[in-house]
Every structure is written in C-alpha cells, then in structure tokens.
C-alpha cells in the first residue's frame, strides 16, 4: 500500500521541481494567455455594445401605443363618480 503513495509523492515532487526550474517560461506563457484573453474579451464586449445600440435604435423607431396606467383610470373613474354623486 505504501508503494503507490510513495510513487505519487515522487511524481508530485518531480513536477514541483520541474515547475520551479521553468517558472520564468510558465509565467511568460501565463502572461501571454492573459493578454490574449483580454483582447478577446474586449472584442466581444465591443460587439455586444454595438449590438445593443443597434437594437436600441430599432426599438426607438417603433413607438409603442400610449396606455393609461391603472392609477390614472381609477383617478378618472373616481372623479366622474364624485361629480355624479353631487
């Protein structure tokens, strides 16, 4: 039972030593990856804003009908009832 645990420990230790020795290369690759991710995110964000602006402009062209709110209807109804009661 101890042999597989020992082998796993040796493998993890070897990977840690290899990573420590190549930390400059690893850091460089990570920085390049982060820069590329930022570029992609910026591009997608710009496209999303353009799409939202396009949809907003299309919605401005279609003016919706004015609908009385419920408060307005009840207020008008109450006024007419008050006039009729007098």
- How does pLDDT run across 30-84, given as a tens digit for each residue? 999 999 999 999 999 999 999 999 988 888 776 666 666 665 556 666 666 666 6
Residue 72: the pLDDT is 59
Q: Residue 63 has what pLDDT? A: 65
Residue 5 confidence (pLDDT)? 85
- Higher pLDDT: 60 or 18? It is 18
Residues 26, 19 contacting (CB under 8 angstroms): yes
CA distance 72 to 68: 6
User: What pLDDT score was predicted for residue 1?
Assistant: 65
């Amino acid at each position: 039972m101890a042999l597989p645990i020992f082998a796993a420990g040796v493998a993890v230790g070897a990977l840690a030593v290899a990573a420590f020795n190549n930390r400059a290369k690893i850091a460089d690759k990570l920085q390049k990856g982060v820069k590329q991710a930022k570029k992609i995110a910026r591009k997608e964000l710009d496209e999303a804003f353009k799409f939202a602006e396009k949809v907003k402009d299309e919605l401005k062209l279609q003016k919706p009908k004015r609908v009385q709110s419920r408060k307005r209807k009840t207020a008008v109804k109450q006024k007419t009832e008050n006039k009729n009661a007098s």
